[in-house]
Structure 1
Amino acid sequence: MERAHCCCHRRLLGPGSCGEPPACRECSFMPPPPCPSAGLSRVMLKMMTFFQGLPGQHTASGGPDLPGSSQKLPSTSEVESEASMSEASSEDLVPTLEAAGAPDRDKEEALKKKKKKKSKGLASVLSVFTKGRRKKGQPGSAEPEGDPGARPEPSAPLPTAEELKAELERGRLEAARPLLALERELAAAAAAGGESAEELVRRQSKVEALYVLLREQVLGVLRRPLDVAPERLRQALQVLAEQEREDRRAAAAAAAAGAPGGSALVAARPRRWLQLWRRAVAQAAQERLGARPPADAEGRSEAERAFLHMGRAMKEDLEAVVERLKPLFPADLDVDVVAAYAESYHEHFAAQLAAVAQFELCERDTYMLLLWVQNLYPNDIINSPKLAGDLQRVQLGSLLPPRQIRLLEATFLSNEVASVKELMARALELESQRWARDVAPQRLDSHYHSELAIDIIQIISQGQAKAESITLDLGVQIKNVLLLELAAFLRSYQRAFDEFLERCKQLRNYRANVMANINNCLSFRTAMEQKWQILQDLPGHLMGPLSELKSHGFDTLLQSLFGDLKPLFKRFTQTRWVAPAQTLGDIISTVGERLPEFSKLHDCFQKELMEVVHLHLVKEYIIRLSKRSVVLKVVEQQRQLAEHILANAEVIQRFCTQNGSSATWLHHALPTLAEIIRLQDPSAIKIEVATYATRYPDFSKGHLSAILAIKGNLSSNEVKSIRSILDVSEGMQQSSKPLFSLIKVG
């Protein structure tokens, strides 16, 4: 028996097995059986050749069906039909030799002559379809050149399948219209019934193979729409729109015709290229966002680089879709192209983040994940100026579910607070080591300066800023927690400073470091009042430790000065107040000589320290008056002592005020006592004592008795009556600034 060539022309046919006709293992071609009456068998064999497809393949090419895709998938029959069309080999477009076994060679010759008559150069034929321009002034209309939607003239001969194949392989989308015309001509021939089933099947296999090529070209362009020229993109979109219109037309025609008849053609529509396009968009999003991010030199973690890559890719691609693809998208497709891309990108972005969130993340990656989900994605991408108008109506939602976000936020807060505590403890430890090593503090604007306050403020501020960069609400949550941690730190700071004051007195830079730490109180207070927006009336748990630290620092700095003043104040009683002016002059001179030592304090603390000195001078003066060392029975002597006290009070007040003291509440302390000593009428003395008790609630009967002891001309009943005036003042609100409670009498 003569060995025939198969349709793919790749090898000679070998003998079949089990008595079957020889078959080609490349294209599954089987020659017709030798019996001329086996026409039906030939039709069935052709059907197997073009519509069964390759083993194991049942899905249409043009884009994978992504898991979890929200697009509606075609039915099983539709998928199988599309798969059979996809797998139809384009080599079937080569003229086959199966007519060698046909019984009627005259019919074969007639077909060849008919085909030859039709076959012309496609360039000239397509010009009929695409260049139907009318001359100026001519009636009629024509489509623009290169428009695949141009309609062919009824009289123009259609190109052959081989010519269309060649043009499609060269990427010419103008072949879409002639191909649609071939499809319609085939449908008309099938309806007319003038051709055999075998011939119809053969012709349909070629048409479907051409559609496979066209589909690959169109979806290839639309798969990467941002990488092709606008005109080619426009052509691909027009072809897609034309196919959707043809799907609708074919569906309407089928519905009008009712139940299908016994046509040899396999139903090829609807082709659902728009659905395939959606799948291609999803695949493009997966490939684009799933690409491995490039390495960088900024030390980012792998998760950070992945988030940054996906965010940049999504924003850039969607902006390009809005600017380039959206204006070209045909209106009759009834598709929100921006939404289609945004949903695909969002779905893959969310899937990637959900996968990352399943792992136990480090602190940095937890922060970055929340930052993208809560801030960067909704604000810098979804609501960016170029995308907000199109994406707001899409309502993509959050990248992670609310419950998972809350868990991540709780983890972030816990991590951040622990980190802040550790950093603050380390900063205090380093500062304490500097004190112990007797390292001199820095100077800033002629004042002693410590970096500790700045370090702590930065640590707290950075923790709050990180939370606020995620959401403002999270910033408020962490602020309250961090202020509690700050209070705990300040207590630790005070304890460390007290230990330094006790153990390091002999160090050369001891007093300088004391002043530097007092200056730190200003930085802390300013930060709490301004940066963290706490009211000036700061809560005790924050200001208490700072007040204690400052007070202990002042006591340390003034200890030697007050020690030098003690013997000078003793002179008042030792000389029985003979020369009070000279004694006070020596006291003021001693204080004035020591004040420059405190110039390295901030100005506000120099004033506060001067208030402490002012209080000390008044207090020590009252202590000397209360020593009962002098008893004056003569009224004139009492008046002279009162005048000395008034003169000394004026000197103390003027000196302290000139050097920055604002303790005006001390101005009446000595002059009122002088008035009590000068007055002789018990009733007048009672009025003065009552007024005095309102200004200084801690003025007790013991203090009054010590002052009245100077007035040796008062009877015991008069003293008792004057003392009783303080019974009315008992239980009154205590002064926040103690004076007499610092003076012990007895």
Structure 2
Amino acid sequence: MLKMMTFFQSLPSQQPMPETFHFPGSPPKLRSVSEAESETSMSEASSEDLMPPLLAGVAPGGEEEETAKKEKKKPKGLANMFSVFTKGKKKKKKGQPSSTEPESEPKTKPELDGPMPTVEELKEALELGRLEAARPLLALERELVAAAAAGGMSAEELVQRQSKVEALYVLLRGQVLGVLRRPLEVAPERLRQALAVVAEQELEDRRATAAGPRAAELAATRPRCWLQLWRGGVAEVAAERLAAPPTTGAEGLSEAERVFLHMGRTIKEDLVAAVERLKPLFPAEFDVVATYAKSYHEHFATHLSAMAQFELCERDTYLLLLWVQNFYPNEILSSPKLAGELQGIKLGSLLPPKQIRLLEATFLSNEVANVKELMTRALELESQRWTKDVAPQKLDGHCHSELAIDIMQIVSQGQTKAENITPDVGRQIKQVLLVEMARFLRSYQHTFDEFLERGKQLKNYRANVIANVNNCLSFRTSMEQKWQIPQNPSSHLLDPLNELKGHSFDILLQNLFVDLKPLFKKFTQTRWAAPAEILEEIFTTVFGRLPEFSELQDCFQKELMEAVHLHLVKEYIIRLSKPRLVLKTAEQQQQLAKHILANAEAIRDFCTKNGSPATWLHLALPTLAEIIRLQDPSAIKMEVATYAISYPDFSKGHLSAILAIKGNLSSSDVKSIRNILDIDMGVQEPSRSLFSLISIG
């Protein structure tokens, strides 16, 4: 494959493509037709008012002055000859549109009120740019055809006369097409004259075609196809305008951006000029707006097609797609001044659909690879700060890391670039970026787990742990808001963040739980004789450690307090399930149930006051107290069945440990009560674990 380093200079990475395409400035306003028609001569027309910086060729220089000089010297007979075009016509009122529509039925011979001018007079008139000579020239051509058909003239004389007529047509064609090549540089009346000549020649082409072949002595000169020649001239002007070097003033843009911006601005300004300034002057049959639109479109498409043949660099691929799929159709063709005029013109796409799909696939591959590389680099830099024991930033009193912000910006930029091409490309890249995001989060979790194991001796270890827990909030919020990540058990995209947070909580709470372990042992050591004092000591220990977690985000402080709440309930149940405690009388069981209820209320109040949202734990201890208090096996069965619905991980082993406290239950009653858990109550897997964290035996 032919390969080039880049079609243009590489686009600077600091210069993002604009989300919206703007063309500064607008073409000068054309004076009204009525104002222009009131001018008495071509020399009085203001070229500044009539010529914007578009649709213009080379300025005619001293052509007008030279024409004026020649007109002063023209013979009197020539002036009489041109008077035939104005005799019998009424003076047009100011503001009345001048009709350039030719007659629907051409006359056999143009009407001339004066004598037929000679070839020499016509030649002089055409050299002076007098387009009025077109009609007597047409009459001369018709007379020649009639003479050839009638016979009586030698073939040599016919050829000689035709050569002179054709030479005059060459002069006329040059004058007419020259005017139409620079339509905004000439007075409107002169433009109408040129348009009328072309229209008349088109009619003559059709008349001659209908009349059949000429006499054998005459060369075939019809159809002359001047309308087609005019369209070819428009295409040449379009090529020249678009190929012109970009104007200065586009500092900071790459060569490719300057070229595209120049072409886009030129197309938009020139088409607006065609709509606003040429359409009112051109006959409908010229279809002037469509002609200009197609010419500019075809040249732009040719340029882009040539560019697309090369193996483009990433930036040029994106730039090409951006113009083909977004800027050109949306910001130019659909701009307010052009949308209505171009609606019925089928310009099509600048590139074939197959080529666009290939470019889009290349863009997606390149962009996803870039996103992946940037995310990997960002994680590497962040992990280096952990291992180098760099303290995290503080933001509003919370430990803060920029990792989540950096990653989401990287992903969002890739998403935005794709959406700037088309919404469909945006949807395509979203699915791929979600996959890459899941891979990154898993890599992030593994990298952080390694730090949790190896960095425990570092001074800023806990601060960095807290900062990364806070990162989870930034990740989760950004992904839920931007991508509407579904919040249901089947969505595993955020699982790595949940695992990272859980491992971090284990680290942060590890010392506290170690301190609480001997306090909970006192429950069984005192045979539950002084539970209130023990709980007070536990609460004092927990409360003293809470300031260590103040640098967590508020939501994570609540989640961490929920973990503490769960630990207190779990440890209490573990101590309650120890086989040493056996109560054989109903009074003893009721007294223990009373203690459990009081303890459950104290734990709930303490944890709730300090931010725990774990209302799901509120029934864990009171229901166990009720099972211990009840004496009727049937009532116990109902309580156990209800309890299993609230806590699906409550197993027969856990139930047996609680029933062991009731020393007055027979083995058959115990078995009957245990069998309640064999009944399928349609309970789903627990979303939160309690008894699965408690080992029995």
Residue 490 of structure 1 and its aligned partner are, at CA, apart by 0.6
- Counterpart mapping for 1:313-324 below 5 A: 313-324=266-277
Partner of 2:346: 395
Residue 686 of structure 1 and its aligned partner are, at CA, apart by 3.3
Q: 1:744 to 1:207 in 2, by over 3 A?
A: same
Q: Which residue, 363, 375, 386 being the options, matches 2:314? A: 363
Q: 1:395 to 1:630 in 2, by over 3 A?
A: same
- Counterpart mapping for 1:257-406 below 5 A: 260=215, 262=217, 266-294=219-247, 297=250, 299-331=252-284, 334-406=285-357
Q: 1:130 to 1:693 in 2, by over 3 A?
A: same
CA distance in 2, matches of 1:657, 1:342: 72
| Counterpart residue type for residue 278 of structure 1 | R
| Counterpart residue type for residue 241 of structure 2 | R
CA distance in 1, matches of 2:193, 2:182: 14
| Counterpart residue type for residue 173 of structure 2 | R
Partner of 1:217: 175
Partner of 1:208: 166
Q: Which residue, 572, 580, 592 being the options, matches 1:641? A: 592
Partner of 1:120: 75
Partner of 1:233: 191
Q: Which residue, 492, 513, 516 being the options, matches 1:565? A: 516
Contact 2:78–2:121 under 8 Å retained in 1: no
| Counterpart residue type for residue 650 of structure 2 | F
- Counterpart mapping for 1:138-287 below 5 A: 154-184=112-142, 204-252=162-210, 254-255=211-212, 260=215, 262=217, 266-287=219-240
CA distance in 2, matches of 1:694, 1:582: 33
Q: Which residue, 87, 93, 107 being the options, matches 1:132? A: 87
CA distance in 2, matches of 1:731, 1:128: 106
Partner of 2:653: 702
Contact 2:205–2:222 under 8 Å retained in 1: yes
CA distance in 1, matches of 2:313, 2:539: 64
CA deviation map 1:574-619 (0-9, x unaligned): 2222211111011112222222322222222222111111100101
**Is the partner of 1:443 in helix, strand or coil?**
strand
Q: Which residue, 577, 588, 591 being the options, matches 1:626? A: 577
CA deviation map 1:654-691 (0-9, x unaligned): 12122222222211111122223333344433333333
**Is the partner of 1:327 in helix, strand or coil?**
coil
Contact 1:373–1:398 under 8 Å retained in 2: yes
Contact 1:282–1:341 under 8 Å retained in 2: yes
Residue 220 of structure 1 and its aligned partner are, at CA, apart by 1.6
Q: 1:460 to 1:228 in 2, by over 3 A?
A: farther
| Counterpart residue type for residue 178 of structure 2 | G
CA distance in 2, matches of 1:732, 1:244: 88
**Is the partner of 1:270 in helix, strand or coil?**
coil
Q: What 5-or-longer segments of structure 1 have no aligned partner?
A: 1-118, 137-142
Q: 1:174 to 1:714 in 2, by over 3 A?
A: same
Residue 358 of structure 1 and its aligned partner are, at CA, apart by 1.2
Residue 507 of structure 1 and its aligned partner are, at CA, apart by 2.5
CA deviation map 1:241-267 (0-9, x unaligned): 122233334445x43xx76165xx545
Partner of 1:606: 557
CA distance in 2, matches of 1:135, 1:723: 116
Identity among equivalent pairs (%): 73
Partner of 2:525: 574
Residue 352 of structure 1 and its aligned partner are, at CA, apart by 1.8
CA distance in 1, matches of 2:670, 2:330: 80
Deviates further, 605-614 or 299-308: 299-308
**Is the partner of 1:328 in helix, strand or coil?**
coil
- Counterpart mapping for 1:536-551 below 5 A: 536-537=487-488, 539-551=490-502
- Counterpart mapping for 1:671-690 below 5 A: 671-690=622-641
Partner of 2:544: 593
- Counterpart mapping for 1:43-54 below 5 A: none
Residue 193 of structure 1 and its aligned partner are, at CA, apart by 7.3
Task: Give the TM-score of the pair, scaled to structure 2.
Answer: 0.80
CA distance in 2, matches of 1:144, 1:122: 28
Contact 1:611–1:662 under 8 Å retained in 2: yes
Deviates further, 718-727 or 464-473: 718-727
Q: 1:356 to 1:717 in 2, by over 3 A?
A: same
CA distance in 2, matches of 1:307, 1:145: 39
Contact 1:148–1:173 under 8 Å retained in 2: no
Q: What 5-or-longer segments of structure 2 have no aligned partner?
A: 1-73, 92-96, 104-108
- Counterpart mapping for 1:373-452 below 5 A: 373-452=324-403
Contact 2:208–2:223 under 8 Å retained in 1: yes
CA distance in 1, matches of 2:100, 2:630: 119
| Counterpart residue type for residue 260 of structure 1 | A
CA deviation map 1:167-212 (0-9, x unaligned): 4444343443444455456556767878876666555444433322
1:485 paired to 2:436: yes
Residue 646 of structure 1 and its aligned partner are, at CA, apart by 0.9
Partner of 1:11: none
Contact 1:148–1:239 under 8 Å retained in 2: no
CA deviation map 1:524-568 (0-9, x unaligned): 222332211232226443021111011111111111221222222
CA distance in 2, matches of 1:363, 1:350: 20
- Which structure has the larger Rg? 1
CA distance in 1, matches of 2:551, 2:469: 10
Does 1 or 2 have the higher relative contact order (CA < 8 Å, sep 6+)? Answer: 2
Q: 1:189 to 1:687 in 2, by over 3 A?
A: closer
Q: Which residue, 458, 464, 468 being the options, matches 1:513? A: 464
Contact 1:164–1:179 under 8 Å retained in 2: yes
CA distance in 1, matches of 2:497, 2:587: 50
Residue 627 of structure 1 and its aligned partner are, at CA, apart by 2.3
CA distance in 2, matches of 1:326, 1:319: 10
| Counterpart residue type for residue 182 of structure 2 | R
| Counterpart residue type for residue 423 of structure 1 | L
Partner of 2:70: none
**Is the partner of 1:541 in helix, strand or coil?**
coil
Residue 159 of structure 1 and its aligned partner are, at CA, apart by 4.9
Partner of 1:77: none
CA distance in 2, matches of 1:512, 1:295: 53
Q: Which residue, 460, 463, 474 being the options, matches 2:414? A: 463
CA distance in 2, matches of 1:277, 1:457: 55
Contact 1:129–1:152 under 8 Å retained in 2: no
Partner of 2:686: 735
Contact 1:121–1:163 under 8 Å retained in 2: no
**Is the partner of 2:649 in helix, strand or coil?**
coil
